[in-house]
């Protein structure tokens, strides 16, 4: 039987996603979200913006890996900035 090898970066990645989801759940319980329209062309909730941000961050990383020689740290920094902007004004 083959087992998945959990390297430190893999564990950090999945732990971060789990922490974000737990934090969003607590935030939702404390302060229920209301749909609003920001710069995105649709009305979204916090959860919608989180999903869109995570999905677009994955595409940004794939684009950096596939089409440039840039560092993934630079892509990560850009994605953190993108998520902050998207969650605040999206």
* Domain ranges across the chain: 8-89
Per DSSP, 40 falls in state S
Tell me which residue of 18, 31, 63, 30 sits closest to 82, measured CA to CA: 63
Q: How far apart are CA 8 and CA 71, in angstroms?
A: 19
Q: What is the pLDDT of residue 37?
A: 93
Secondary structure class of 76 (helix, strand, coil): helix
Which residues sit opposite 36 in a β-bridge?
44
What pLDDT band is residue 1 in, cutting at 50, 70 and 90? low
- pLDDT tens by residue, 16-48: 999 999 999 999 999 999 999 999 999 999 999
Tokens of residue 21, six digits? 């989801």
Work out the percent of the chain whose per-residue pLDDT is above 70: 99
Q: What is the pTM of this model?
A: 0.82
């Amino acid at each position: 039987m083959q087992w998945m090898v959990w390297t430190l970066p893999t564990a950090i990645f999945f732990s971060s996603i789990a922490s974000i989801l737990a934090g969003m759940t607590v935030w939702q319980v404390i302060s229920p979200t209301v749909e609003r329209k920001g710069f995105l062309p649709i009305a979204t909730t916090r959860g919608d913006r989180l999903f869109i941000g995570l999905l677009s961050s994955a595409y940004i990383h794939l684009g950096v890996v596939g089409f440039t020689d840039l560092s993934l740290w630079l892509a990560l920094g850009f994605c953190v900035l993108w998520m902050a902007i998207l969650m605040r004004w999206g």
